Amino acid sequence: MIPDTRPSTARRLQGALHGLVGVLLVVAAVRGMVLGTSPALVALASVALIGWYAVGAGLARGTASPRGPAPVRGRADPSRGLATAWMGVLVTSWALVVLLVSPEFSWLAFPFILIGVLVLPPSVAHPLAAAMTAVVVVAQLRGAGPESLRAGMVLGPMLGALVAIGTGAAYLRVLRESEDRRRLVEQLVAAQDDLVAVHDELAATQREAGVAAERTRIARDIHDTLAQGLSSIVLLSRAAAADPASREALLGQIEATAVDNLDEARRVVAALTPSALEQAPLPAAIGRLLERLGAQSGIRTVLHVDGDVCTIPTTVEVALLRVAQSALANVRLHSGASRVVVTISYADTSVSLDVVDDGRGFTESRLMSAPLGGTGFGLRAMRSRLTELGGRLDVESAPGDGTAIAATVPLATPHPQELR
């Protein structure tokens, strides 16, 4: 039963084996008839052999590999058992024909041994090849007289059997290597699919991280702008209600603060540069913050600029402006200060912002226990914003000694798009 192994190489081998069996069967039949054997008996033997051979070839079309798939442990392999039975009947019939009808059918020994190597396990195929070789030798010796005996009658069949066994073994090895390569390719494709899946998961994780970072940024911006502005409006409205004489001036301040907050809200939604920085550099923007703080709270404000004002990356300007907004809002709402000094220092490798007030100050334990809606969130947001830029935030405070906030950001070589 020659297996249908599917690949083109296997199909070519099957075709070659079928052709070889057919040609040798015709040669054996013709020589048997010419050398005096009954033509009817030779024809009957030929039909029987080729018919049984065709049965095996037909049954083998569903076989996936030369010796079939590996059987499940503990169970018999039905395809292998069928191949063994078919091969046993074929070889037995062939041996009877060689010994009883015509020794010319010995020509079929070579392809039959090769087929046995392909469809049977070595423990069966090799003894079967030895038995077939013995049948050929016996058939040749029986038909030869004492004067025609030669060593080739024994060595020839033996060498032919060895060639058939070697050819079959080599083919099986090539086929196994081909199957191993096919499985390796499948594993590589599966691994590639896994890598693509992992890449997609990483991309999704990065997108989620980006969304989380953007949410954090928006939360900081809202706290540093809208929340602080609304707090100012609340304080101014309470002051206006308590002091009718200054109501008109306070209403003007409320309107100005509301307009600024509305503008900031639009900027946050559009994720653009803060409007204060669009209209002036960082020192001027912080100067306006101080003017507004003084007008709304009566706190005396001072601005110092050390070093030469230079163009710095927009991301750094935005971070320092937000720190200033949050720090000054804390001064107005929580410090009870009468004076605040802001210093902007430009150096070759960094820019820093110091906010110092003479208010009541606080302890570290009070800072750590502050609710997220109060000062604690503002300081944490400042530190987070600066850390993203490689900077740092230092806070010094003690009860009754005021508070000093120092923000420092290193200046790396900015990307052209980061400069205004």
Dihedral over alpha carbons 93, 99, 100, 101 (to 10 degrees):
80
Average pLDDT across the chain, whole number? 78
Q: What pLDDT score does 259 carry?
A: 77
Output the six-digit token pair for 6. 């599917």
Which has more pLDDT, 231 or 343? 343
9: confidence class by pLDDT, cuts 50, 70, 90: low
Q: How confident is the model at residue 373 (pLDDT cuts 50, 70, 90)?
A: very low
In tens, the pLDDT along 263-296 reads 776 666 655 445 555 555 889 889 988 998 888 8
394 phi and psi angles, rounded to 5 deg: -115, 135
- Backbone φ and ψ of 348, nearest 5°: -65, -35
Least confident range from 71-80, 113-122, 391-400, 407-416: namely 71-80
Rg (the chain; Cα; Å): 49
CA distances from 395 to 25, 86, 136, 379, 383 (A): 103, 93, 104, 9, 10
410 falls in which pLDDT band (50, 70, 90)?
very high
116-138 per-position pLDDT tens digit: 888 888 888 889 889 988 988 88
* 211 and 379 Cβ atoms separated by less than 8 Å: no
Distance of CA 226 to the CA centre of its chain: 43
pLDDT at 237 over 50: yes
Q: What is the pLDDT of residue 197?
A: 82
The full set of domain ranges for the chain reads 8-67+79-193, 281-420
pLDDT of amino acid 234: 79
Q: Are 49 and 101 in contact (CB under 8 A)?
A: no
Comparing 242 with 189, which gets the higher pLDDT? Answer: 189
Q: How far apart are CA 283 and CA 345, in angstroms?
A: 10
Task: For 63, list phi and psi in degrees, rounded to 5.
Answer: -75, 135
Give pLDDT, residue 357.
Answer: 93
Q: How confident is the model at residue 408 (pLDDT cuts 50, 70, 90)?
A: very high
Rounded Cα distance between 122 and 285, Å, is 91
CATH of 281-420, one of 3.40.50.300, 3.30.565.10, 3.30.420.480, 3.40.50.880: 3.30.565.10
Backbone angles phi and psi of 304, in degrees to 5:
-120, 140
Q: Which residue has the tokens 């004076």?
A: 339
Residues paired with 404 in a beta bridge: 356, 396
Q: Would you state the pLDDT for residue 344?
A: 94
Which of 28-37, 119-128, 212-221, 232-241 shows the lowest per-residue confidence on average (mean pLDDT)? Answer: 212-221
Residue 273 one-letter amino acid = T
Cα–Cα distance between 335 and 341 in angstroms, integer?
13
Task: Give me the numbers of helices (H) and strands (E) for the chain, helices first please.
Answer: 13, 5
Q: What is the dihedral of CA 276, 281, 287, 292, to 10 degrees?
A: -10
Structure tokens at 344: 């902007």
pLDDT of residue 269: 60
Grouping H, G, I as helix, E, B as strand and the rest as coil, residue 144 is: coil
Neighbouring-strand partners of residue 352: 345, 408
pLDDT, residue 74, reads 36
Whose CA is closest to 309, among 285, 289, 286, 281? 281
Position 303 confidence tier, pLDDT thresholds 50, 70, 90? very high
DSSP string, 186-237: HHHHHHHHHHHHHHHHHHHHHHHHHHHHHHHHHHHHHIIIIIHHHHHHHHHH
Angle, in degrees to the nearest 10, between helices 282-297 and 228-242? 30
Contact call for residues 393 and 386 (beta carbons, < 8 A):
yes
pLDDT at 148 over 70: no
Residue 268, class by beta-carbon neighbours within 10 Å (0-12 exposed, 13-18 middle, 19+ buried)?
middle
pLDDT classification of 82: cutoffs 50, 70, 90: confident
Tens digits of per-residue pLDDT, 346-358?
Answer: 998 999 999 999 9
- What whole-number distance in Å separates Cα of residue 338 and Cα of residue 330? 13
pLDDT, tens digit (0-9, with 9 covering 90-100), for 30-81: 888 887 768 888 889 889 888 888 888 777 665 544 444 333 333 345 567 7
What is the rounded CA–CA span in Å between residue 371 and residue 390?
26
Percent of the chain past pLDDT 90, that is, above it, reads 12
Name the token pair of 338. Answer: 């009468």
User: Strand, coil or helix: what is 395?
Assistant: strand
Is the pLDDT assigned to residue 401 strictly greater than 90?
A: no
Alpha helices in 223-362 (DSSP H): 228-242, 247-270, 275-279, 282-297, 314-330
